[in-house]
Structure 1
Amino acid sequence: MEEVEELCLVISSVGERGQDGQVRITFKQLFDRYVTISNKVVGVLLRARKHGLVDFEGEMLWQGKDDDVVITLLE
């Protein structure tokens, strides 16, 4: 759970807050920033989504292919 919390902090600090108040970041932006902390960013993202902390389209995210997928911080 510590990794999930750290991921949410990274999204909060690097992402952009929309007019609706939610913070969003692209997968590429997050991957580029978070990979220096942990190389298992996708697994942590999936756990964060399972706990209702983030949302994104698709079942899995792949570096390169899904760079433009937007990840929304829910909590």
Structure 2
Amino acid sequence: MGASWNLAVVEVEAGNLEEARKLLQQATEADGPPEQKADVLMYWADVERNAGNHERARHLYKQVLDVKYPPAKPSK
């Protein structure tokens, strides 16, 4: 997860948002602790917000909340 995320940061700084998005997607799909996944999603949401993609950012921020505060499972 970490390498994809770090490379995505480099791509964002270089202005290569499409490549950064691919790498961020890979990072969110990789195994890792939920806290790190939430951090990746938060970074990605910030990238999208800064790029003016507010709907995408909103969707990603909601994913952060779902990772940090998973919905309660109904009791049987």
TM-score by length of 1: 0.33
Higher relative contact order structure (alpha carbons within 8 Å, sequence separation ≥ 6): 1
If each structure's helix is expressed as a fraction of its own residues, which one has the higher value? 2
Bigger radius of gyration: 2
